[in-house]
Amino acid sequence: MSPHENFSFQSTDELLGKAKELGVELPYQESLSDLFESISLGTKKISNRLAIQPMEGFDGMADGSPDELTFRRYKKYAQGGSGLIWFEATAVVPEGRSNPSQLMLTPHTLDVFKSLLDQTREIAIRSLGSTHEVYCVLQITHSGRFSRPSGKPEPWAACFNPLLDRDAQNIHVASDEELLRLEDVFVNAAQLAFQAGFDAVDVKACHGYLINDLLGAHTRKDSRFGETFEKRISFLLDIVQRIRENVPRLGVAVRLNASDNIPYPYGFGMSREDSDEADLTEALTLVKQLIDQGCLLFNITLGIPHHTPHFGRPFDRPVGEVPVPDEHPLVGVGRLLKTAGKFQSAFPDVPFVSTGFSWLRRFFPHVGAAMVGSGESTFIGLGRSSFAYPDAPKDLMHTGALDPQKTCITCSRCSELIEGGYSTGCVIRDSEIYGPHYQKFLARQRA
């Protein structure tokens, strides 16, 4: 029988009992006060530990500008009271877009990004008061192997990967010269992000996209960016170093895959002895080097969604035809939290965002508070929950609890919408907008 089970817990005792039965160390505390301890980051004082994780909405314009639905999403995030808003994956070049509606930061789209950011800050203050400062990070990225700039795959990879690629012929392996040119583009994007008013950029190094792909490029031969650890990390380190030099007043963050869950030599952060086991040694060493270069914030995640989606986002119901994983979702939640905790404990003076809370529904604040209280995480990052329940922080402030009727149910419909090429959000809790998108998606599936 599959160990996978849908969420069914009615009480804390039931949840903690299941965790114990599964051997999952799930931190938990009744008091939520640790979530509302303010913290300084750079020159800002952030009023709470709740963070919106980067969540692509697939709702930008053809030129990469944020559109109406993008403005609507960020308005809801700002009203909701999170102290940290980590803006979604934003392409640095057209060919690196994950889809034709992915946001893209260029000189041409700069003014619209600026308006989006101004709106976000203004609404946050209007909603929470003048003492509420919101820290805004922009995730900049190249989608690499998962680029679909015109809706069809146009992969751009560090090397052919037999566990991810069907056919070597269709993969464009980026040359060193192309990568060197791309470094300039990332630095320019960071400059634009600073002009737009972001507090920091995240040089995205997770979920199998280009920079993460380079971290695991053990089989990339005769290149300054492959094989040895020093060479595999040099693209990311070069970019971070150059941003620090060229845009010194902009913070630099990294969302990092601690481990890809793809056996060595085809993934990052895997044991060389046991092909299924993560080995965090390289990721920890990389973080140390990034801190030495001046990175001020990290966000730890796992896995490659296109390969093992449950590693990064434990769910009740998988996307479409994807089989239910052979693992209880609570095991996945425990893995994500424990991994983030290892990084935070290794570098206690630097803030880390942990992820994997949405599956816990109304219990997540207590697990998150225990992570913060025990020093295993500085911020609690919410992904799908932010689509479903963007005002969760405000409800926690006002009532001390979440409304079970508003929580994410981890049904994967938001992921199905993006796989179908539709703008996404919560089909269940924001059904007025996303229900019709999902009906169209289903109709197309049936046709």
Ligand X SMILES: Cc1cc2nc3c(=O)[nH]c(=O)nc-3n(C[C@H](O)[C@H](O)[C@H](O)COP(=O)(O)O)c2cc1C
Interface residues for ligand X in 405-434 (CB under 6 A)?
Answer: 414-415, 418, 424
Backbone angles phi, psi at 66, to 5 degrees: -60, 140
For residue 91, the SS3 value is strand
Look at residues 55, 32, 34, 36 and name the one whose alpha carbon lies nearest to residue 46. Answer: 36
Closest residue to ligand X using C-beta atoms: 383
Query: Of the two residues 265 and 421, which places its CB atom closer to ligand X in the complex?
Result: 421
Query: Of the two residues 83 and 383, which places its CB atom closer to ligand X in the complex?
Result: 383
Pick one of 55, 280, 304, 372: the residue that binds ligand X (CB under 6 A): 55
CA distance 195 to 107: 10
CA distance 31 to 49: 14
Least distance to ligand X from the beta carbon of 316, Å? 12
Q: Taking contact as CB under 6 A, which single stretch among the options 76-84, 257-265, 323-331, 382-390 is the one that binds ligand X?
A: 382-390
Pick one of 48, 53, 212, 234: the residue that binds ligand X (CB under 6 A): 53
Site string for ligand X, 326-355 (x = CB under 6 A): -----------------------------x
Query: Of the two residues 223 and 407, which places its CB atom closer to ligand X in the complex?
Result: 407
C-beta neighbour count of 62 within 10 angstroms: 10
Interface residues for ligand X in 268-307 (CB under 6 A)?
Answer: 301
Site string for ligand X, 167-206 (x = CB under 6 A): ---------------------------------------x
441 binding ligand X? (CB under 6 A):
no
Residues 6+ apart with CB under 8 A from 178: none
Least distance to ligand X from the beta carbon of 427, Å? 11
Checking DSSP bridges between strand 39-41 and strand 44-46, what pairing results, if any?
antiparallel
Site string for ligand X, 200-219 (x = CB under 6 A): ------xx------------
Least distance to ligand X from the beta carbon of 334, Å? 13
69 binding ligand X? (CB under 6 A):
no
Pick one of 89, 137, 304, 427: the residue that binds ligand X (CB under 6 A): 89
Residues 6+ apart with CB under 8 A from 214: 158, 179, 220, 225, 226, 232, 235, 236
Give the interface size with ligand X as a residue count (CB under 6 A): 26
CA 122, 128, 132, 138 torsion-angle sign: negative
For residue 146, the SS3 value is helix
Q: Count the alpha carbons within 13 Å of 149 in the hemisphere toward its beta carbon.
A: 16
357 binding ligand X? (CB under 6 A):
yes
234 binding ligand X? (CB under 6 A):
no
241 binding ligand X? (CB under 6 A):
no
> If DSSP states are collapsed to H, E and C, what string results for 99-132?
CCCCCECCCCCHHHHHHHHHHHHHHHHHHHCCCC
Least distance to ligand X from the beta carbon of 435, Å? 16
CA distances to 183, 210, 220, 243, 331 from 187, rounded to whole Å, are: 6, 16, 24, 5, 38
Residues 6+ apart with CB under 8 A from 78: 85, 119, 120, 121, 122, 123, 124, 127, 134
Least distance to ligand X from the beta carbon of 272, Å? 27
Least distance to ligand X from the beta carbon of 146, Å? 11
CA distance 335 to 338: 5
User: Is 228:179 a contact under the CB 8 Å cutoff?
Assistant: no
Query: Of the two residues 202 and 282, which places its CB atom closer to ligand X in the complex?
Result: 202
Interface residues for ligand X in 135-154 (CB under 6 A)?
Answer: 139
Least distance to ligand X from the beta carbon of 187, Å? 20
Query: Of the two residues 55 and 123, which places its CB atom closer to ligand X in the complex?
Result: 55
Least distance to ligand X from the beta carbon of 191, Å? 21
CA distance 49 to 174: 39
56 binding ligand X? (CB under 6 A):
yes
Q: In the numeric block, which tokens belong to residue 17?
A: 């009992």
Least distance to ligand X from the beta carbon of 315, Å? 8
- Tell how far CA 173 is from the center of its chain: 25
CA distance 257 to 212: 7
Q: Taking contact as CB under 6 A, which single stretch among the options 30-38, 49-57, 73-81, 122-130 is the one that binds ligand X?
A: 49-57
Query: Of the two residues 91 and 158, which places its CB atom closer to ligand X in the complex?
Result: 91
- Binding residues for ligand X, rule: CB under 6 A, are 53-56, 88-89, 139, 206-207, 255, 301, 312-313, 355-359, 382-385, 414-415, 418, 424
